[in-house]
Structure 1
Amino acid sequence: MNQGLCINDSCGCVAPRETSGATLSGSLIGTLTLWRERARTRRYLREMPAYLLKDIGVDESQRQQEVEKPFWR
């Protein structure tokens, strides 16, 4: 098990806590899922025709700004 920090809201102290492998793997899966979703939606946005962009209120510069972002941001 890994150690992390736990902040006790009632007293404001910082104390070590145990982090289970299951929590870490769940967090990793969640992050990978988010990255995959970002890549997919940015690909759709890149391929979207101008009339659909207009329908959703996105102009060409906004589209370009979004599709140029890496999937991890």
Structure 2
Amino acid sequence: MTQAHTQTALGYLTGRQLTPATAAALRVVVLLVKWEERRRTRRGLKRLDAHLLNDIGLSRRDVERELARPVWED
């Protein structure tokens, strides 16, 4: 789910009373989307060369450490 879709969905839900099951399902979906975003971001870091990593203040070792983290770690 892209950020635009997320914002649209959240705008739709704002001010609406959710059932406990719907609220729980929504929390699960949001969590899964966060994990997928972390996975994509970490894969992107893996593809950067040393020059680009240096530009953003990271070393290859920093990237390897980040790649070793599970997606549920913030």
Equivalent-residue separation in structure 2 for 1:49 and 1:25 (angstroms): 39
Query: Which one has a larger percent helix, Structure 1 or Structure 2?
Result: 2
Which 4+ runs in 1 deviate beyond 4 A? none
Equivalent-residue separation in structure 2 for 1:46 and 1:68 (angstroms): 11
Q: CA RMSD in A?
A: 1.2
Matched pairs, number: 55
Tell me: higher relative CO, structure 1 or 2? Use CA pairs within 8 A at least 6 residues apart.
Answer: 2
Deviation at 1:71, TM superposition (A): 1.4
Q: Which has the larger radius of gyration?
A: 1
Equivalent-residue separation in structure 1 for 2:23 and 2:70 (angstroms): 26
Question: How does the TM-score come out when normalised to structure 1?
Answer: 0.70
Query: Which one has a larger percent strand, Structure 1 or Structure 2?
Result: 1
| 1:23 counterpart = 2:23 | yes
Match of 1:25, SS state, is helix
Deviation at 1:29, TM superposition (A): 0.5
Instruction: Give 5+ residue unaligned stretches, structure 2.
Output: 1-18
Deviations 1:24-70 (A, max 9, x none): 01100110000000100000011111111000000121111001112
Instruction: Give 5+ residue unaligned stretches, structure 1.
Output: 1-18
